[in-house]
Every structure is written in C-alpha cells, then in structure tokens.
Amino acid sequence: MTADTAFQSDFLRTLRDRGYIHQITHPAELDAAAATGVVTGYIGFDATAPSLHVGSLIQIMMLRRLQQAGGKPIVLMGGGTTKVGDPTGKDASRPQLTDETIAANIASIRTVFERFLTFGDGPTDAVMLDNDAWLSTYGYIQFLREYGTHFTVNRMLAFDSVKLRLEREQPMTFLEFNYMLMQSVDFLELNRSLNCTLQMGGSDQWGNIVSGVDLVRRVDHKAAFGLTTPLLTTASGGKMGKTAQGAVWLNAEQLSPYDYWQFWRNVDDADVGKFLRLFTDLPLAEIEALETLEGAGINDAKKALADAATTMLHGADAASHARAAAEAAFEKGEVSADLPVIELPKGEWEQARSTRALVKAAGFARSLSEASRHMAGNAIRINDELITEDRFHEYDELLPEFGAFKVQFGKKKIVLVKPI
C-alpha cells in the first residue's frame, strides 16, 4: 500500500494518511463499500487481564477512525476464545481463567472503549459483543461438521503464527490449534447477524483474518474484507507499550494518568510524528508543523502528544493535572501531590533503609545490584540530592508534607516512596 494509493473513501484515505495500513485483502472492493455506505467492522480483544495495554491502542484507534468516517464499529470481546488462548507470537500456552474472572475483565475493559467510541443503538453506534455467546453453544461434533471441512491442516501449518512456534520447537496444544477456526467463525457469525464485512487487526493476525474472510466468502458467498496494521515498534526497535517498569496499561486502576502522560512525554524524538498521527485526533497540518520543531522545541511536540493522548483516555482535567505535576517536578524542582506514590510496607523498609531499597521500591531497578549500577552512573537523586553510593536514610529525611521520599531516576522519572 503506497502513500499515493487513490482511495475514494474517507475511511481508507484517513488510514493511509495516518499510517495504519499494512495489508488489505480486497482494497478496491472495500474502498467502494466504504465510499457508498456504512461499513461495519470489528476487532477482537481477548480478556486475559482487567486492562488492555497501550500495545492494543492502535486497534482501538482503528475502530475510532471507522466510526469517525461513518462506519459502525464492533468491539468483540473474546469471552470464548480467551478460554482457549491465541498462539500468535506466544511460546507457551496461556493460563486458563475462570468464567467469573473473564466476565470481570470484560467489564473493566469496556470502560476504556467508552472513552474512544460512542455506544448506542444508532446505525453507526458502536456495540460490544462477547463471542462466548455463540462459541459456547456449539457441540464438538456440530462444530467439526459445520466448519472443520473448510480448513486444511496444511494451510494452518503454513501460517506464521503456527509455523514459527513449531520451528522453535515450542509445544502447541490442540486447544490452541483450534483458535484460528474459532476466530474465523466469529467473522461468519458477525457477518450473518450484523452484516459485518470487515475484520481488522495487527499484522500478526493476518493469517487468522484471511481465514475468516475466506470462510465468509466460501460458505455464504458474501462480501468480506480484512485489513491489518503494521507491526508497531519504537524508533529504538522495542515493542510498543513495553517499558522497563512493565506494560503501559490503559485502565487508571493499573496505571495512573500521570504515568500515562509521562509515557507519551518520554517517547523517542523520532517517534513523535508517527505517534501523533496514530494516537491523536490532531489535524495532519498541525502534526506536520510540530514535526518541524528542533532541539528543545521537540519537547513541545512531545507535550502536545502527551496532552492529546491522555485527554482522549482519561479526560482533559487528568491530562492538565499530569502535565502540571510533571512540569513542576522536572522543570521547577517542585513536588506535587499528583506525582505517583509507591507505598513501602514499614516492615520491608525497616529491614533495609537504604538508597538501593528506595530505588528498587520505586520500580527503577529490578534488583539491588541494578540499583547500585544506577547510582554509580549518576542517575539517582533522593530528595533532589545526587547519590552515587548506597547509604541509610532516616525518617527525618521524609518530605514532611507527604511523609515520603522523592526518588528520581535520570531526568524523566520521579516517584514518591512512602513507608507505611
């Protein structure tokens, strides 16, 4: 897909111009459908945790772009497929969750989608469905009889999600091998019940998506399309959404708005333009102007990215508070109540009242030895004092207004560590 592809539909033009498109199964047909009517499209999300992380945000934004262009988005929660586990990109089976845990995860995840999509009963309003509603109704013999004949083991073994795992000699259960069939049946079910003609996802889902497109076209002889986004990595080659401190969660219960704002503020300079296109609604002309900023000016572009992304997820007030707290801490040397607070049980604190313990508790090191290396590299400040060697800290060093230590790692990360 090239930048000069002459799409007629606003939907595909927007996806092209903002960098979402990697592959499309039937580009001309999909473009014509999007230009002349309401396209209903879906993306599936398994419910393995109470929150999605920022690595899923590009898919959420794809649904948002579909709705903005006059299409109808379907958020398909994998209550059924979560019980099986998607083998794509995995070297091991996922742990099986109870029905109660899966239902609680879906309820928690829905709160995030409500920030990005308009739900309702209108022709372009978003809906959230759970594939357990139909997958759990099939008997084993019925499922095999109706759909098993449409899939060959030869072709399934050829898909990267299966082939790469087998090449690494990692075991793959028959349970997981069925995931591709289940995802394809999802598309067929949505096509029949809601006239859903488009399945979208990441490039690692291409094989599963193509299988679903083929099933709809072969069984019901109806239009069906697939579209994938590029594999999203950072300029440094890392996986989007993974940091030294762990996943960047979307639910505020798992990651504070301040930390979310900081994630975007601290992206690599080379990623700012790309992320502004993918993860904000800022006009392209404004983004192009921000991309021209150089030197210290690039920080203004990063703040614009952090403001827009945080506002979309957590609201304008949360974004404003996060920015004010960050600017106070990093530009003025002040301490704000909006800084993240890590509570350290007093029993653990009493055992090792050391700089290394504070650094580890703050999440800036996975071990005491790593904390020591950070100190030796002049990366650690406690209450704004540069500390290069481990030492004990007394209670009278606690910041009186917070009862906590201000722990800073480098120039971009500050937390309050509070013995309790």
- 176-233 pLDDT per residue, tens: 777 888 899 999 999 999 999 999 999 988 988 999 999 999 999 999 999 999 988 8
**What is the structure's pLDDT at 40?**
98
Q: CATH code at 411?
A: 3.10.290.10
Would you say residue 272 lies in a domain?
yes
- 127 and 119 in contact (C-beta within 8 Å)? yes
- Buried b / exposed e along 97-111 (16+ C-beta atoms within 10 A): beeeebbebbebbee
Is the domain of 123 the same as that of 190?
yes
308 closest CA partner among 283, 332, 288:
283
Is the domain of 32 the same as that of 88?
yes
394 closest CA partner among 335, 346, 354, 342:
354
Domain stop point among 211, 229, 247: 229
Q: Strand, helix or coil at 25?
A: coil
Tokens for 204? 């690692």
- 230 and 203 in contact (C-beta within 8 Å)? yes
Is the domain of 138 the same as that of 205?
yes
Would you say residue 3 lies in a domain?
no
Tokens for 348? 């653990």
**What is the structure's pLDDT at 66?**
98
Is the domain of 402 the same as that of 353?
yes
Tokens for 75? 């958020």
**What is the structure's pLDDT at 245?**
59
Is the domain of 309 the same as that of 364?
no
Would you say residue 393 lies in a domain?
yes
Is the domain of 184 the same as that of 286?
no
Is the domain of 21 the same as that of 135?
yes
Tokens for 99? 């029905």
Would you say residue 39 lies in a domain?
yes
The string of DSSP letters for 317-329 reads: HHHHHHHHHHHHH
**What is the structure's pLDDT at 44?**
96
Q: CATH code at 136?
A: 3.40.50.620
Identify the burial level of 180 via C-beta atoms within 10 angstroms of its C-beta, where 0-12 means exposed, 13-18 middle and 19 or more buried.
buried
**What is the structure's pLDDT at 174?**
75
Name the DSSP letter for residue 79: T
Would you say residue 87 lies in a domain?
yes
* Structural domain harbouring 410: 341-419
Rounded to whole angstroms, the Cα distance separating 311 from 281 reads 11
Domain stop point among 276, 303, 331: 331
Rounded to whole angstroms, the Cα distance separating 75 from 61 reads 12
- In the block, residue with structure tokens 């920080």: 299
79 closest CA partner among 172, 182, 207:
182
Name the DSSP letter for residue 64: H
Rounded to whole angstroms, the Cα distance separating 201 from 343 reads 38
Q: What is the pLDDT along the chain (420 residues), one digit of tens a residue?
A: 555 578 999 999 999 999 999 999 999 999 999 999 999 999 999 888 999 999 999 999 999 999 999 999 999 999 988 877 555 555 455 567 888 999 999 999 999 999 999 999 999 999 999 999 999 999 888 988 888 888 888 877 777 767 777 787 777 777 677 788 889 999 999 999 999 999 999 998 898 899 999 999 999 999 999 999 998 887 777 777 655 557 899 999 999 999 999 999 999 999 999 999 999 999 999 999 999 998 889 999 999 999 999 999 999 999 999 999 888 877 777 777 677 788 888 777 766 688 998 998 888 888 889 999 999 999 998 988 899 999 889 888 888 888 889 898 887 788 889 887
Cα distances (Å, whole numbers) of residue 90 to 170, 182, 271, 297: 9, 18, 26, 40
pTM exceeds 0.75 for this model: yes
Is the domain of 103 the same as that of 211?
yes
Would you say residue 247 lies in a domain?
no
- 78 and 45 in contact (C-beta within 8 Å)? yes
Cα distances (Å, whole numbers) of residue 87 to 93, 151, 158, 159: 7, 17, 14, 11
Is the domain of 352 the same as that of 263?
no
> What's the number of domains the chain is made of?
3
Is the domain of 138 the same as that of 261?
no
Is the domain of 380 the same as that of 275?
no
Would you say residue 235 lies in a domain?
no
Would you say residue 375 lies in a domain?
yes
Is the domain of 60 the same as that of 206?
yes
Tokens for 10? 């606003």
Domain stop point among 331, 356, 389: 331
Rounded to whole angstroms, the Cα distance separating 369 from 342 reads 20
Tokens for 243? 């940091």
**What is the structure's pLDDT at 42?**
98
- 248 and 399 in contact (C-beta within 8 Å)? no
> How many C-beta atoms lie closer than 10 Å to residue 325's C-beta?
22
Q: CATH code at 327?
A: 1.10.240.10
